[in-house]
Amino acid sequence: MTLNLKNEVFCSFIFYAVLSLIKMFAIAVLTGQVRLRKKAFANPEDALRHGGLKFCRTDPDVERCRRAHGNDMECIYPFLILGMLYCFLDPTPSIARIHFRIFFLARLLHTLAYLFALKAPTRSLAYTLGQIPCFSMALKILINVASCW
């Protein structure tokens, strides 16, 4: 069975949405790997399994990964909802693709800035850049539904 998608905007959205989710899943896996490498476990039962309760502790690198993952969840989930609703408005395919691409690339830069502690304000600028297409889509959605009142 194949998925037959003929709507160019929706295909574009699905492409960038899935890339964003894969990136978010990758950060979750990375967090676990850093925990193992640094022997910094959040739960006593995990620490006991890997050397003892002394490894039930926090680690700055693990916390950095966790914050990057948390920030992804705060941004990507709203993007998924906004992007889906935006697709129903039949936007121009090239404009929609620009929205989706900017969001994904900004989130990718934000993650790299977080994980590699890039010089400020790289992370903040990437965050802001990623919010611009979300705000634009939200505004377009609101304008379109306001006309129904």
Domain ranges of the chain: 60-147
Quote the tokens at residue 92. Answer: 């121009």
Burial class (CB in 10 A: 0-12, 13-18, 19+), 122: middle
Distances 42 to 16, 29, 46, 65 between C-alpha atoms, Å: 32, 15, 7, 14
Band of pLDDT at residue 128, cut at 50, 70 and 90: very high
Instruction: Tell me the CATH architecture of domain 60-147.
Output: Up-down Bundle (1.20)
Helix (H, G, I), strand (E, B) or coil at 59: coil
Q: What is the DSSP letter of 67?
A: H
pLDDT given at position 149? 81
Whether the pLDDT of residue 15 is over 80: the answer is: yes
Whether the pLDDT of residue 4 is over 80: the answer is: no
pLDDT given at position 1? 56
pLDDT given at position 3? 59
pLDDT given at position 2? 62
Band of pLDDT at residue 147, cut at 50, 70 and 90: confident
pLDDT above 70: percentage of residues in the chain: 97
* pLDDT tens track for 29-82: 999 999 999 999 999 999 999 999 999 999 999 999 999 999 999 999 999 999
Interval 24-30 mean pLDDT: 98
Quote the tokens at residue 83. Answer: 């992007």
